[in-house]
Structure formats: C-alpha cells, structure tokens
Amino acid sequence: MEVKITSDNFESLKNGNLPLVMDLWATWCGPCRMVGPIISELANDYDGKVVVGKCDVEENDEIAMQFGVRTIPTILFFKNGQLVDKFVGAAPKALLDEKIKALL
C-alpha cells in the first residue's frame, strides 16, 4: 500500500532502511490521475522492499520546491537518503518498474 508523504514524515521516509519512490502530484492534474493507479500497483508489488508514496504538492509545496519540481507528475527515486533518479510526466508501469529494480 502506498504511503501519504507529507512534510512531517518525508525526511524519515527518505532516510529509512528502504529505498523511497515518491510521486509528486495534485488532485487537479490529469496525467497525475493516470499515474496514480500505477503507483498503487507498484506499492503493492514492492511491499516490504521499497516504500512507494504520494506527495500532494498543493499540501506540501516545500518538498516540491526543495527538489525544483515545476511539472507534475514528477516521480523521485531515493536510495540511502539521496536522490538517485527522477522521471517527469506520465510514465508507463514498465518504465517505473525498471527504475525501481535499479534501486534494489
């Protein structure tokens, strides 16, 4: 199950024992709604291996600003607390799956 990423839990998730995949999105964003179900599937597929979560940029704009996110959806990939990859735009599941496997 995907987690809700907020300003309160972001640092602990980013620096946790598992890699973090964070989808930055907003409710009004059409492409974000297309990626949403894929993120949920990946969260289930990688449960216990990777933390997969969603961060609403309207509620947590400081996270988006910290990483210079100007276009959503943007998916950020963290390992050992460091940003190691990112993808901007709507992505097919196969592409995101490849990027997650690279984290493991």
- Enzyme catalytic residues: 29, 32
Q: 40 burial class (0-12, 13-18, 19+ CB within 10 angstroms)?
A: middle
